[in-house]
Structure 1
Amino acid sequence: MKALFTAALLCAGSAFAQDTFKIAYIDPLSGPFANVGELMLTHTQYAVEDINAKGGVLKGTKLQLLQFDSKLSAQESQSALQAAIDQGARAIVTGGSGSSVVTALVQAAARHNQRNPGKEILVLNHSSIDPELTGKACNFWHFQFEANTAMKMKAIANYVKKQPDIKKVYLLNQDYAHGKQWAHYGRELVGLARPDVQFVGEALHPIGRVKDFAPYLAKVKSSEADSLITGNWGQDMVLLLKAAGDAGYNLRYFNHSAGSIPGTVLAVSQAKLGQLTWVAEWHPGQAETPKVDALAKAYKARTGKDFLAPRIEMTPRFLAAAINKAQSTDPVKIARALEDLTLDSVVGPVRMRGEDHQLLLPQVVNTIAPVDGKLVKTGWEGTNYGFRTDAAYTGNELAQGTECKMARP
């Protein structure tokens, strides 16, 4: 009788252990980019809570979100990864720490998975846009939920092609993999679209450490550039805009995600000069996006914060859909279910390309501009500046070829 009771307890414990599927969030929650990490965390939390409120996955299994601070460090992120694994996480949500950190996480996860069959972990990347992650360095355990650098720059190049007033371009970027790639693809793709454009200078600066961009802007000004291709984000973008405003320098900026990061619109409004054009799957105030509008309203009601990034909120939903498709919480089966999975998202149908694990989602080129009641109807961040749609492209229009040769388990 005692043995039967013990066995029943063991079975109950096993069943209870499967009542949750643990996801670890690893992104900056301290330091100069903490506001970016908090934004991404809130988007992730909202989706997880909504999925759980609707029954979770597999008819009752709830998602549990663990939180870890990457401190924008590859070493700290790998320590967080090990802590997450020790706590039972089977998927990592990351991307806001930069491509070098995400690459280190992917490599660490792959090593762990090779050494620990049956205890694998997935890496779901919502914001690090290094094309190598779905190219030469592609990995079965990694999934990219954001358009990569080449896709975003192609959208910008298509737009610049129709802007004859852009004549001289300077490349100013953060000194790490992403910054160098934004410069590389800017020179290559904008150069192809506009062979007449002159690239008049290029510089790299330490990420998150420059307090005053005036010396960099002095070099830009001496080059007589009218436009700046910059992959800066977070405080590095805000401080760059401030320095340009203080110097009275009326530049055009071409960026990947600046408008979706808190403080950027405010910085543009305070500078009163310059046009910041960026590209994302959606922007606030975009016309004819009823699904996103409804989500943004519900998000604001629950969190008290502005909704900015559908792809981040979408990432846990893809995971949930794959778990239900696979009818399993085994990461190997989930990964296979994610391949070529199409989700009817708030920005329309999006597909996770199976050959390289690159999500194909639309991209909208838009500019932060003053409210005019026509193209820009709503102000943002308490300012009279909002977002003007300039051009829109489907994921298939921007899709790039891939050098991925993926080894599968």
Structure 2
Amino acid sequence: MHSTSLLFRPVRRALAALALAALVTGAAQAQAPATAPAGAPIRIALIEALSGPLANTGEAVYRNLVWATERVNARGGVRLPDGRRPLIIDRFDSKGQTEEALSGLRSAVDKDIRIVAQGNSSAAAAGLVDAINKHNERDPARQVLFLNYSAVDPILTNEKCSYWHFRFDAHANMRMSALMSVIADDKALRSIYLIGQDYSFGQAVLREARTQLGQHRPDVKIVAEELHPMARVKDFAPYAMKIKASGAQAVLTGNWGNDLTLLVKAAREVGFDGMFYTFYGNALGAPAALGDAGIGKVVAVADWFPNVPTAESEAFYQSFRQRFPNPADDYVHMRMQLLVEALAQAIERAGQVDAAAIAAQLEKAQVDLAGQGGRMRAADHQFQQTLAVAVMDRQGAPGVKFDVEGSGYGFRVIRQLTPQQAEQPTTCQMRRPEGR
């Protein structure tokens, strides 16, 4: 485990963060004097794959959370009755395995850390939810809060919803609905191939794809459905050849990380020229792997894209690029910035670093940054926010000012859904602690 203090970052980084602070909702918070936080740090345990085939996804998360906490610390940290306190990220490597994630949770609790963040695996998230529920019942003096930024299996805010778990990403059904709004308008589409990673999230994506295609495009034929081992396939050529041989005009996938990059690369190499409707096709090597073959052919859905056409959004992205100038460090997540803003807001309103007290305030969180924002729904702890759908194009094309990871390709926003349009019902029956 590696711990990084954010209190002593270079002054230039703090100043860059201060420029963004004014974008955060709440004039009093935004205009707080940049007094260095001097109290005991508030530690956040990042439990994520930081080694192995999915390490690039974990490191992308780490950069986002570091930047978000730097912004809070630059404006004076979190204000509590005993003074201002900085936020610090502690790294725990899950190696992409649920058991390792649970081991990271135990280590975090032993180090007296009460806030846990994880997201790049719905299977690991489900394991953490179960473990935290049991721990918090068994050891109420050391209760833990779980902040989820990417684990989007709908079950986590439905049947398995927990008072201690808060999801800041749109779940798979919400993302699918946004994608389907574009698929519904693609009148030339007649056949589609469904492929995904063989675990809870990948299975949920294919299940929901079948359901929503049946509702919105019953005329589209599903030529095949396929699940493959997660993070273990080195050569996707056999899958790509099956896709091409199927005659499908499009592929729909929830794949992420190397499983997506290798899939799209293999598809290009075998000559598949159909559409890719993706959850995560807008970064982590996928655009570079496709090159010109992806122009107008790769569609992605996200809470935000760098080319969202507003001045506030552009300034936000430019600030991130100044902080992380290496093109390989691209892939900023707006939702992770909002997560940290919501956490800081909730801790200040709770007046203490207590998981139950913070959760009670986080249920009511409403935050804005760079023209983006959202609110936490108390019924199931599912964050409600804008969703956008974008298509890949060459940098410099209309609507594509910024490229991805120095690839020369970016994503032009073609549709935006308001939080009200993206919202979906929940089946959550929340069990709350006594008195909450």
Alignment of 1:353-372 (within 5 A): 353-371=377-395
**Matching residue of 2:191:** 168
Cα distance in 1 between the residues matched to 2:148 and 2:92 = 15
Match of residue 91, structure 2, among 58, 67, 70? 67
**Matching residue of 1:4:** none
Query: What percent of counterpart residues are identical?
Result: 37
**Matching residue of 1:122:** 145
Match of residue 57, structure 2, among 36, 39, 57? 36
Contact 2:379 2:430 in 1 (8 A): yes
> How far apart are residue 33 of structure 1 and its match?
1.0
**Matching residue of 2:285:** 263
- Check if 1:279 corresponds to 2:301: yes
Match of residue 313, structure 1, among 337, 350, 355? 337
Cα distance in 1 between the residues matched to 2:337 and 2:217 = 36
Cα distance in 2 between the residues matched to 1:379 and 1:39 = 17
- Check if 1:52 corresponds to 2:76: no
Aligned residue identity for 1:202:
E
Contact 1:268 1:368 in 2 (8 A): no
TM score, norm. by length of structure 2 = 0.86
Aligned residue identity for 1:73:
Q
Match of residue 198, structure 1, among 221, 235, 246? 221
Counterpart secondary structure, 2:141: coil
- Check if 1:397 corresponds to 2:421: yes
Counterpart secondary structure, 1:118: helix
Unaligned runs of 5+ in 2: 1-36
**Matching residue of 1:140:** 163
**Matching residue of 1:408:** 432
Cα distance in 2 between the residues matched to 1:164 and 1:188 = 19
Match of residue 228, structure 1, among 240, 251, 265? 251
Contact 1:213 1:240 in 2 (8 A): yes
> How far apart are residue 250 of structure 1 and its match?
0.5
Bigger Cα displacement from structure 2, 47-56 vs 16-25: 16-25
- Check if 1:379 corresponds to 2:400: no
Cα distance in 1 between the residues matched to 2:387 and 2:290 = 22
Cα distance in 1 between the residues matched to 2:218 and 2:196 = 22
Cα distance in 1 between the residues matched to 2:217 and 2:381 = 31
Contact 1:296 1:307 in 2 (8 A): no
Contact 2:265 2:286 in 1 (8 A): no
> How far apart are residue 307 of structure 1 and its match?
4.8
Please give the per-residue CA displacement for 1:11-66, whole angstroms capped at 9, x wherever unaligned.
xxxxx997222110111100111111101001001111221121111241222221
Cα distance in 1 between the residues matched to 2:186 and 2:92 = 43
Unaligned runs of 5+ in 1: 1-15
Contact 1:242 1:271 in 2 (8 A): no
Match of residue 102, structure 1, among 125, 129, 134? 125
> How far apart are residue 221 of structure 1 and its match?
2.1
Structure 1 stretches of 4+ moved >4 Å: 270-274
Contact 1:339 1:354 in 2 (8 A): yes
Please give the per-residue CA displacement for 1:268-321, whole angstroms capped at 9, x wherever unaligned.
216557711110011122211x33322222222223243521111221211111
- The alpha-carbon distance between structure 1 residues 333 and 272, as it changes in their structure 2 partners (threshold 3 A), is closer
Contact 2:46 2:90 in 1 (8 A): yes
Cα distance in 2 between the residues matched to 1:379 and 1:53 = 28
Contact 1:322 1:335 in 2 (8 A): yes
- For the pair shown, the structure with the greater C-alpha radius of gyration is 1
Cα distance in 2 between the residues matched to 1:382 and 1:139 = 40
Cα distance in 2 between the residues matched to 1:390 and 1:369 = 12
Bigger Cα displacement from structure 2, 205-214 vs 290-299: 290-299
Cα distance in 2 between the residues matched to 1:207 and 1:251 = 24
Aligned residue identity for 1:317:
E
Bigger Cα displacement from structure 2, 31-40 vs 57-66: 57-66
Please give the per-residue CA displacement for 1:127-175, whole angstroms capped at 9, x wherever unaligned.
0101100001000000000000010000111111111011101111111
**Matching residue of 1:332:** 356
Aligned residue identity for 1:157:
M
> How far apart are residue 350 of structure 1 and its match?
0.5
Please give the per-residue CA displacement for 1:225-273, whole angstroms capped at 9, x wherever unaligned.
10111111111111111111111110211111231x3212211216557
Contact 1:245 1:273 in 2 (8 A): no
Bigger Cα displacement from structure 2, 210-219 vs 115-124: 210-219
Cα distance in 1 between the residues matched to 2:101 and 2:291 = 35
**Matching residue of 2:25:** none
Aligned residue identity for 2:388:
V
**Matching residue of 1:345:** 369
Contact 2:241 2:267 in 1 (8 A): no
Cα distance in 2 between the residues matched to 1:336 and 1:263 = 39
Cα distance in 1 between the residues matched to 2:324 and 2:406 = 18
**Matching residue of 1:8:** none
Cα distance in 1 between the residues matched to 2:376 and 2:70 = 23
Q: CA RMSD in A?
A: 1.8
Counterpart secondary structure, 1:151: helix
Contact 1:300 1:307 in 2 (8 A): no
- Check if 1:298 corresponds to 2:319: yes
> How far apart are residue 208 of structure 1 and its match?
0.8
Counterpart secondary structure, 2:140: coil
Aligned residue identity for 1:318:
A
Aligned residue identity for 1:208:
A
Counterpart secondary structure, 2:189: coil
Bigger Cα displacement from structure 2, 69-78 vs 309-318: 309-318
